[in-house]
Structure 1
């Protein structure tokens, strides 16, 4: 399997003076995800560009976000493909998700227009997202309270676990945190959407309850980031950047807390329907 980072010789110019040295780059490789459902031939869900590592988490989080599965019980297993036609390098770039029952929802085979900068979810509208949300287990009545200071501190907690970013400067990160600031899981990837899928896939496979957790991301908060959080049952989304209008609307419609510009003791709360912040 390709390592998540690799060394490369570079020439750095500062003030017109060159300096040759070794630098590190974040790895970017394609991952093809296939679906194996009972009684059906294997089908390709799509291909996404990702940083190798935690590939099963990524696949699980993506099929959850796509609505292919409704929960952990729909999964029979995840494994690297063993097709004889694949080269050794390709073998770790193809993952098969085996379903325990027919797919919870139909999907179109797609290339996912997969660059590391783009979202890969196939949901086309707020109504489709709400259809996915309706099939999730009910969230508990008790919701945690988040102090503004706690929300503002989450990016720093995320940064402490960004090992690949520290080495390359080229990795996004996402993490889930409890209301007391405890870290549940942090994942890094060249794609910010992939980082979220890896986080959501991890808690799905481990059976970790998410309703009382906050998802913190290292970039702006777009619609698909919030969508993935909502489908995973996460109660709050926090980012170091700004949210979009569609992301805020989705939080309004699903009762998800949304906070942006969380840094240096400052946080802007855009949605707090449950009255969790500062309670």
Structure 2
């Protein structure tokens, strides 16, 4: 399989002069999601954890509702000798899902991590997110620990400084899984696929993002069934409205010095004055 990291020659220029050397950069390749022989989407992605990506993307797009809808999955790599360069993730769906897919088949050719390329109507672009279960509560200290645990675990980003990460953290287990990709949507889809394949109860932990929070990131988190989403960057206004309607607790701008809660703050224990703070956001 194509390695996720490439090393390229470069010249580094600093105030002290110029020096030749190498730089590790993330690989990027076309990845086609194929359902029962029909291409559903072509995304530019990092070629790692591709089966997780296939399952997660299919789930968050609503093509499948459960792992049992997929009877078989395989990944095939193509090079210039084949007439095309990239990877196909082929999923074979059961008869019921295959029939539904024929009626909604579409093709997408999008740039890196594109979340809405090929959407055929405004209604589909802003479709309501799935309502999430109540899940559990978290302390402010737990959220801070979760955020602090992510940077050391971003192995691909340590090499390249050019990829996004999505992760899942629980108070009992700490950092359960981390998935990285050049596309932030791809990273989250890979995480969703991994957690669903492992039978993990997403309501008992936090989804962590290194990117900004747009509507698609809330929609994908809700499809997973996670009730708390934490991001290091700010959300869009539409993402906040979507999280509010779906029941997702949206925590963002999570840094070393604190974080901000935008929706459903009742799941966060602030260490005092909870009623006033919950009323302020609510």
Instruction: Please show how residues 84-123 of structure 1 align to structure 2 within 5 Å.
Output: 87=82, 90=85, 93-103=87-97, 106-112=103-109, 114-120=110-116, 122=119
For residues 212 and 171 of structure 2, the distance between their equivalents in structure 1, rounded to whole angstroms, comes to 21
Residue aligned with 2:204, SS: coil
Structure 1 residue 102, shift from structure 2 partner: 2.8
Partner of 1:4: 4
Q: Gapped runs of 5+ residues in structure 2? A: 271-282
Contact 2:146–2:175, Cα closer than 8 Å, also in 1: no
For residues 95 and 169 of structure 2, the distance between their equivalents in structure 1, rounded to whole angstroms, comes to 32
1:194 aligns with 2:186: yes
Residue of structure 2 aligned with 1:243, choices 232, 235, 238: 235
More helix by share: 2
Structure 1 residue 120, shift from structure 2 partner: 4.7
What is the aligned-residue RMSD (CA, Å)? Answer: 2.5
Larger CA deviation: 145-154 vs 248-257: 145-154
Partner of 1:276: 267
Partner of 1:80: 75
1:52 aligns with 2:59: no
Number of residue pairs aligned between Structure 1 and Structure 2: 262
Larger CA deviation: 115-124 vs 20-29: 115-124
For residues 100 and 31 of structure 1, the distance between their equivalents in structure 2, rounded to whole angstroms, comes to 22
Partner of 2:280: none
Residue aligned with 1:94, SS: strand
Partner of 2:273: none
TM-score after normalising by structure 2: 0.85
Residue aligned with 2:47, SS: coil
Partner of 2:152: 160
Partner of 2:222: 230
For residues 93 and 2 of structure 1, the distance between their equivalents in structure 2, rounded to whole angstroms, comes to 9
Structure 1 residue 207, shift from structure 2 partner: 1.8
For residues 13 and 223 of structure 2, the distance between their equivalents in structure 1, rounded to whole angstroms, comes to 46
Distance of aligned partners of 1:252 and 1:179 in 2 relative to their CA distance in 1, 3 Å threshold: farther
1:206 aligns with 2:198: yes
TM-score after normalising by structure 1: 0.86
Partner of 1:70: 65
Q: Gapped runs of 5+ residues in structure 1? A: 37-41
Deviations along 1:181-209, one digit per CA (max 9) or x if unpaired, are 61121001111110000000111222222
Deviations along 1:9-57, one digit per CA (max 9) or x if unpaired, are 1001112721101111111011011101xxxxx2110100111111010
